[in-house]
Amino acid sequence: MRVLLVEDDEPVAESLIRGLARYGYDVEWVSTAAEALAAAPAEMVLVDLGLPDMDGLDVCRELRARGDVPIIVISARADEVDKVVGLEIGADDYVSKPFGVREVIARMRAVLRRVRPAEETDAPQTGRVTIDRRARRVFVDGGEISLTPKEHDLLAFLAEAPGAAFTREQIMEAVWDENWFGPTRTLDVHVGALRRKLGDAAAIETVRGVGFRLVLP
């Protein structure tokens, strides 16, 4: 997914770029409103309110007038009025600084689930595998396979960025709990079960020293 990041604070931007890249997102970073409004269309926009050349709320308003791209405001302004105004003019969510990358990722996923329900309802096909996230059903070559809740969550997470390598820690945080500090043996058990159930329709490859990635034929 291509994400447009509009942020004039370089350390914040660099931290977000690194974090989003680890989760498979392709980030274009701009630091001014003018650059944001001139940028190529993106699938998600993260915009700070404190920009040097224009208020971020005006950027949100202009982007919303152009189309329905999901917009998340990221700002140090914690005032409730700013939050309300941001949401009223078309932002889909509002994250106050300071924040963690995991929180931003979670907000992005929640927004996508809200604004693009049709895509989930239509059960998008990934090669021979079809994942219906809303119904929590998975089909291989048209036939449904039985997965446990965690097996489904694991497959859905890896399928968000086929080919991208995710660390064991990233997977545990996303699928189990962000505060998980225990052994990751349970991950290996679930990966093994998924491999058996998917057969040759998809491969969950081990990336030595890193974690796993989903590879589609």
Q: Check which CATH number belongs to the domain holding 141 and give it.
A: 1.10.10.10
pTM as predicted:
0.60
Secondary structure (3-state) at 160: coil
Q: Are residues 106 and 135 in the same domain?
A: no
Domain match, 87 and 130 both? no
Which residues of the chain have a pLDDT value below 70? Answer: 78-82, 115-126, 177-184
**Does residue 194 contact residue 183 with C-beta atoms inside 8 Å?**
no
Q: Quick one: 100 and 135 in the same domain?
A: no
pLDDT value at residue 118: 46
> What is the model's pLDDT at position 81?
67
Beta bridge partners of 204: 214
Residue 77: strand, helix, or coil: coil
- Which residues face 6 on adjacent strands? 30, 47
Q: Do 131 and 109 fall within a single domain? A: no
Same domain, 138 and 89: no
Same structural domain for residues 82 and 39?
yes
Out of 77, 98, 115, pick the residue that ends a domain: 115
Whether 56 and 94 map to the same domain: the answer is yes
SS3 content of the chain, % helix, strand, coil (to 5): 45, 25, 35
Q: What is the pLDDT of residue 85?
A: 77
Q: Into how many domains does the chain fold?
A: 2
Same domain, 94 and 137: no
Q: Which two tokens stand for residue 168?
A: 């064991």
**Does one domain contain both 108 and 145?**
no
Same domain, 147 and 99: no
Query: Which residue range(s) make up the domain with 164?
Result: 121-215
Question: Distance of CA 11 to CAs 29, 132, 177, Å?
Answer: 12, 38, 27
Domain of 23, CATH number, reads: 3.40.50.2300
Kindly state whether residues 86 and 105 are assigned to the same domain: yes
Same-domain status, 126 and 26: no
